[in-house]
DNA sequence: TTTCATATGTCAACCGGATGACATACAATT
DNA sequence: AATTGTATGTCATCCGGTTGACATATGAAA
C-alpha cells in the first residue's frame, strides 16, 4: 500500500522540495541525503530508510539539471531524422529511444524534415543542451557542422562528415538480392526507381547493385528518380515510356506501393505481368501491405549497433570504433514477385 | 563566408568555452557577454559585434543546463506514447515536436510500449529532468501519478486523471459517420471491431456511436474485440461465425487492413460483397493503402490544440483551459465501400 | 585499552550562467 | 554647469546538487 500524498504531508511552501527539505524531514544532514542518493560512503540501514521515506513523503525528485551541471554529463542524446511519421524512421527511432533508455540515456527528438536550416538549428540546440551524443540520419550532403570536437556523433545510413561512424544495412547486397530475384523470376525489362540522388548516402549502393546485377545478367539497367511530390507523375511516365516493363525494384516500400497502385489502374496483373519488389520491410508496411515483396532492413539491429558505437565513444573508447558498419538484410518474398 | 574553425582559433584547453572565455576574447566583462546573450540593459553596437565574433571564434554555445537551473525553466516537454513506430503516433509525435520546436520547446521522447511500469518510470524521469510540461497518450487506465501539482499535463485521446485536459478527435461523430456510410451503402450485417476495451478512453465512443447508429437503423450491433497479437485469429473467427457479414467498421486502419486481407483469402469481393471502413487515415495508410475508406483524424490539429493548451498552462493561464476538446473528423470514401 | 571500520555532521568550493546593486565614464541636453 | 541617458565594469548571490576535507561518535575487534 503506497502512501497517499495528502496536503498535510506536502511541504508548506508550494515549491519543489530540495535536498535540504528532505534532510530536514528525515532529520539528517543534506550531505547524508546526497550520500543515500548516490550510494556513496557509509550509510546506515535505518538512515537510508528514513531518507527514502522522507523523499516519498515530500514527493521529492532529485533535480537532474543541477546534477548534470556539476557532473558535466546529461545522459541526453539528440536524435535527428527527417520525420517520425515515416514508417522506417518511426520504427528506427522507436528502437533507438528504447535501447538508449535501457542504458540510462534520454532522447531529445528532432524532426528535421529534410531541411538543412532546421538541421543546423537542431545541432545548435543540442549543443546548448549539452547532449552527450548525437545520432543523425537527416540529410544527404556532408555538413561540416557535424565535425564537433569531443561530441560523439553516429550516422544512420548517412555520411555526416569525414570521421563520423555510419551504420546502415547492407544496401549493396539488398540491391543485388532484389534485382537478382526479379531476374530469376524471368523478368527482362526491370526498372529501378530511387529517391532523390545524393551520391553520398550508402542507400545509393542499392542502385549501384541493381546496375551491376543487370549487367551481369546481360540486361540494360534503367533508373527513374523520384522526388517527394512527383512520385505519381513519374511512375505514370515510367509506364507510359516502358510498356514492356515486367519488373520494378523500388528503393523503398512506399514507392513500390505506388507502382502497385498504378499497375492496378492500368489493369496490369501482378505478379503475372509485372513483378514488384520494395525496400525497407517495416512493421507497418508488413501489416498494411503484406503482399509486397521487399528487402527488409534489420532496423532493431541498426539501432542497437548505433547506440553501441555512440556510447562507446561517449565513454571514450575511441579505439575500436568502426567507421562503417553494415548489417545483413532479409529478402521477404511475398505475392508481388 | 563563414569563418572556418581552425585549431589556432580554438581555445587552448580542450574544454568547452564558457562566458568568461568569451569575455576574455572579446575584451569585455562576463556581465557584458551575458547582457548581449539576453539582450538586457544597454549594449553598444560595436560591443555586441565584438562579443558575437568572439562567440563564433570560440565556437561558444551557451550552457542551457546552467541557464535552466537559474531561471527555473527548461523549455523541455515530455512526450509519452506507446511507440513512434505506429503510423498514428508517429505522425502525431512528428507534429507535436514540430509545433513545440516552433515555440521554443524541446521534446523528450518516451515510448511506453503500453506498459504501465515503463510509463511510471518515464514520469519520474521527466520530473527529475524538470520538464515544463507533459503530453501523454500512453495508457488506458487513469493513473494518479499524473496528478502532479504544478506540472502541466495534457492527454491525447486518453483520460489521464480527474483534472487533466484531453484533446481528441470527435470519436462519436466518426463512429456515426462510418457506420452510417455502411448502412447507406446497403449493408445489413455490419460488424465492428475494436482494440482492447478500456472504458475510459474517448476512442470508445466510436463503438458507442456504432451501436447507437445500428439501433437507429433497426440493425443489431455486433462487436469483436482484438488484442495486440490475436488480430488475425479473431478476424478469421469473425468471418467463420458471420458468413453473411457485408460491412465491417474497424476501429483503426491496421485492423481494417487485416480484414481486407482475410476477405481476399476467402475470395470475398470488395466492395461488392463486403464493405470495409477503417479509422485514423494517417499519411502512411493513405500512401500504402489508398483504396481503404476511412475516418481521418485531424492529427495536426490535435497536435496544435494539445500544445496550445499545454503552453497555456505552463504560462499559468489556467483560467480558460478547456477540460475536453474534440476536433472534427473527415470521412474519406475510397474503394472499399 | 587501543584501534579501526562504520556512520554522520559541518563546511566550503564548484558546475555555468543570471541578475541586482552599485560605481564609473562619457556624451548629449537643458 | 548640472542633468540625464547610454554604456560598461565589479562584485556578490543564487539556482540545486556533488564532492572532498575534516571532525566526531559509536561499537566491535584486537
- Confirm or reject contact between A115 and chain B (CB < 8 A): no
Closest residue of B to A89, CA-based? B85
Task: Determine the longest span between alpha carbons in chain B, in angstroms.
Answer: 85
Distance of alpha carbon A241 from alpha carbon A142, whole angstroms:
35
- Within 132-161 of A, beta carbons closer than 8 Å to B belong to 149-150
Is B76 among the domain residues? yes
Asked whether the beta carbons of residue A84 and residue B63 sit closer than 8 angstroms, the reply is no
At residue A198, the pLDDT reads 66
Say if residue B181 is in the same domain as residue B78.
no
**In chain B, residues 193 through 232 whose Cβ sits under 7 angstroms from any atom of nucleic acid strand C:** none
Say if residue B211 is in the same domain as residue B240.
yes
- Confirm or reject contact between A100 and chain B (CB < 8 A): no
Instruction: Indicate if the pLDDT at residue B278 is higher than 70.
Output: yes
CA–C1' A240–D7 (A): 71
Write out B272-327 in H/E/C secondary structure.
CCCEEEEEECCHHHHHHCCCCEEEECCHHHHHHHHHHHHHHHHCCCCCCCCCEEEE
Chain B residues with beta carbon closer than 8 angstroms to that of A125: 106
Say if residue A153 is in the same domain as residue A206.
no
CATH number for B50:
1.10.260.40
CATH number for A152:
3.40.50.2300
Nearest alpha-carbon partner for A243 in A220, A260, A218, A266:
A266
Chain A nearest-CA distance from B243, in A, is 24
Instruction: Indicate if the pLDDT at residue B12 is higher than 50.
Output: no
CA–C1' A51–C11 (A): 21
Instruction: Indicate if the pLDDT at residue B5 is higher than 60.
Output: no
Say if residue A118 is in the same domain as residue A163.
yes
Burial class (CB in 10 A: 0-12, 13-18, 19+), A276: buried
**In chain A, residues 31 through 90 whose Cβ sits under 7 angstroms from any atom of nucleic acid strand C:** 31-32, 35, 41-48, 66, 69-70, 72
Chain A residues with beta carbon closer than 8 angstroms to that of B86: 90, 284
**Rounded (5°) CA angle B156-B157-B162:** 80
The count of domains in chain A is: 3
First to last CA, chain B: 59
Is B161 among the domain residues? yes
Instruction: Indicate if the pLDDT at residue B3 is higher than 90.
Output: no
Say if residue A230 is in the same domain as residue A310.
no
Cell 510540461 found at? B133
Percent of all residues in chain B with a pLDDT value above 90, rounded to a whole number = 83
Say if residue A228 is in the same domain as residue A261.
yes
Is B333 among the domain residues? no
> Contact at 8 Å (CB) between A171 and A209?
yes
Distance of alpha carbon A31 from alpha carbon A27, whole angstroms:
12
Residues present in chain B in total:
337
Is B335 among the domain residues? no
Say if residue B307 is in the same domain as residue B160.
yes
Helices B253-265 and B231-241, packing angle to 10 deg: 50
Strand partners, B111: B81
pLDDT tens, N- to C-terminus, chain A (337 residues):
223 222 223 334 468 999 999 999 999 999 999 999 999 989 999 999 999 999 999 999 999 999 999 999 999 999 999 999 999 999 999 999 999 999 999 999 999 998 999 999 999 999 999 999 999 998 777 888 888 888 999 999 998 888 899 999 999 999 999 999 999 999 999 999 998 776 678 888 999 999 999 999 999 999 999 987 888 899 999 999 999 999 999 999 999 999 999 999 999 999 999 999 999 999 999 999 999 999 999 999 999 999 999 999 999 987 788 999 999 999 999 999 9
Torsion on CA atoms B37, B42, B45, B49, rounded to nearest 10? -20
Range(s) of the domain holding residue A306: 72-168+300-328
Q: Distances from the Cα of A108 to the Cαs of A100, A144, A323, B158, in angstroms?
A: 11, 21, 24, 24
Strand ranges in chain A using DSSP code E only, listed in sequence order: 76-81, 106-111, 133-136, 153-156, 166-169, 190-194, 223-225, 247-250, 275-280, 293-296, 324-327, 330-332
Instruction: Indicate if the pLDDT at residue B20 is higher than 90.
Output: yes
Asked whether the beta carbons of residue A69 and residue B65 sit closer than 8 angstroms, the reply is yes
What number of helices (H) and strands (E) belong to chain A? 12, 12
Torsion on CA atoms A227, A230, A235, A236, rounded to nearest 10? -160
Is A337 among the domain residues? no
Cell 503484406 found at? A290
At residue A199, the pLDDT reads 62
Cell 514540430 found at? B98
Write out chain B in H/E/C secondary structure.
CCCCCCHHHCCCCCCCCCHHHHHHHHCCCHHHHHHHHHCCCCCCHHHHHHHHHHHHHHCCCCCHHHHHHHHCCCCEEEEEECCCCCHHHHHHHHHHHHHHHHCCCEEEEEECCCCHHHHHHHHHHHHHCCCCEEEECCCCCCCHHHCCCCCCEEEECCCCCCCCCEEEECHHHHHHHHHHHHHHCCCCCEEEEECCCCCCCCCHHHHHHHHHHHHHCCCCCCEEECCCCCHHHHHHHHHHHCCCCCEEEECCHHHHHHHHHHHHHCCCCCCCCCEEEEEECCHHHHHHCCCCEEEECCHHHHHHHHHHHHHHHHCCCCCCCCCEEEECCEEECCCCC
Q: Distances from the Cα of B311 to the Cαs of A11, A270, B92, B156, in angstroms?
A: 26, 51, 17, 15
- Within 257-296 of A, beta carbons closer than 8 Å to B belong to 257-258, 261, 282-285, 287-290
At residue B14, the pLDDT reads 66
Say if residue B229 is in the same domain as residue B115.
no
- Confirm or reject contact between B70 and chain A (CB < 8 A): no
Distance of alpha carbon A205 from alpha carbon A211, whole angstroms:
10
At residue A97, the pLDDT reads 98
Distance of alpha carbon A164 from alpha carbon A155, whole angstroms:
7
Chain A residues with beta carbon closer than 8 angstroms to that of B91: 84-85
Distance of alpha carbon A179 from alpha carbon A276, whole angstroms:
10
At residue B11, the pLDDT reads 39
Is A334 among the domain residues? no
Say if residue A305 is in the same domain as residue A156.
yes
Say if residue B57 is in the same domain as residue B147.
no
Asked whether the beta carbons of residue B64 and residue A290 sit closer than 8 angstroms, the reply is no
Determine phi and psi for A68, rounding to 5 degrees. Answer: -60, -40
Asked whether the beta carbons of residue A91 and residue B85 sit closer than 8 angstroms, the reply is yes
Last residue of a domain, one of A18, A37, A62: A62
Instruction: Indicate if the pLDDT at residue B98 is higher than 80.
Output: yes
Instruction: Indicate if the pLDDT at residue B57 is higher than 70.
Output: yes
User: Is residue A250 classed as helix, strand or coil in its secondary structure?
Assistant: strand
Q: What is the mean pLDDT of residues B287-298?
A: 97
Cell 520547446 found at? B105
Is B67 among the domain residues? no
Chain B nearest-CA distance from A109, in A, is 6
A-B Cβ pairs (cutoff 8 Å, strict): 142
Cis omega (within 30 of 0) for bond into B271: yes
> Contact at 8 Å (CB) between A148 and B146?
no
DSSP 8-state secondary structure symbol assigned to residue A299: H
Asked whether the beta carbons of residue B109 and residue A125 sit closer than 8 angstroms, the reply is no
Q: In terms of DSSP bridges, do strands A133-136 and B330-332 run parallel, antiparallel, or are they unpaired?
A: unpaired
CA–C1' A38–C6 (A): 18
Is A117 among the domain residues? yes
Say if residue B97 is in the same domain as residue B57.
no
Say if residue A185 is in the same domain as residue A248.
yes
Amino acid at each position: 500500500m503506497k502512501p497517499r500524498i495528502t496536503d498535510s504531508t506536502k511541504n508548506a511552501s508550494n515549491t519543489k522540495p530540495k535536498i535540504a527539505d528532505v534532510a530536514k524531514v528525515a532529520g539528517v544532514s543534506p550531505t547524508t541525503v546526497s550520500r543515500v542518493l548516490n550510494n556513496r560512503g557509509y550509510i546506515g540501514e535505518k538512515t537510508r530508510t528514513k531518507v527514502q521515506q522522507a523523499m516519498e513523503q515530500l514527493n521529492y525528485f532529485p533535480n537532474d539539471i543541477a546534477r548534470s551541471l556539476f557532473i558535466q554529463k546529461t545522459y541526453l542524446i539528440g536524435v535527428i531524422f527527417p520525420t517520425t511519421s515515416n514508417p522506417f524512421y518511426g520504427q528506427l527511432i522507436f528502437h533507438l529511444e528504447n535501447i538508449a533508455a535501457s542504458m540510462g540515456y534520454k532522447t531529445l527528438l528532432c524532426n528535421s524534415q529534410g531541411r538543412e536550416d532546421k538541421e543546423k538549428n537542431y545541432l545548435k540546440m543540442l549543443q546548448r543542451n549539452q547532449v552527450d551524443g548525437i545520432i543523425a540520419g537527416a540529410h544527404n550532403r556532408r555538413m561540416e557542422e557535424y565535425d564537433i570536437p569531443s561530441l560523439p556523433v553516429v550516422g544512420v545510413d548517412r555520411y555526416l562528415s569525414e570521421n563520423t561512424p555510419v551504420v546502415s544495412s547492407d544496401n549493396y547486397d539488398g540491391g543485388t538480392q532484389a534485382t537478382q530475384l526479379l531476374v530469376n523470376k524471368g523478368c527482362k525489362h526491370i526498372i529501378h526507381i530511387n529517391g532523390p540522388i545524393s551520391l553520398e548516402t550508402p542507400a545509393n549502393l542499392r542502385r549501384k547493385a541493381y546496375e551491376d546485377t543487370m549487367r551481369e545478367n546481360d540486361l540494360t539497367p534503367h533508373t527513374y528518380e523520384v522526388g517527394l511530390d512527383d512520385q505519381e507523375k513519374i511512375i505514370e511516365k515510367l509506364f507510359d515510356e516502358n510498356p514492356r516493363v515486367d519488373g520494378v525494384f523500388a528503393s523503398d516500400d512506399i514507392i513500390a506501393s505506388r507502382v502497385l497502385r498504378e499497375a492496378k489502374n492500368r489493369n496490369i496483373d501482378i505478379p503475372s505481368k509485372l513483378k514488384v519488389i520494395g525496400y525497407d520491410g517495416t512493421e507497418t508496411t508488413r501489416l498494411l501491405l503484406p503482399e509486397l515483396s521487399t528487402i527488409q532492413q534489420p532496423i532493431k539491429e541498426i539501432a542497437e549497433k548505433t547506440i553501441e558505437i555512440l556510447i562507446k565513444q561517449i565513454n571514450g573508447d575511441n579505439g575500436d570504433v568502426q567507421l562503417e558498419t553494415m548489417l545483413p538484410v532479409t529478402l521477404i518474398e511475398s505475392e508481388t514477385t
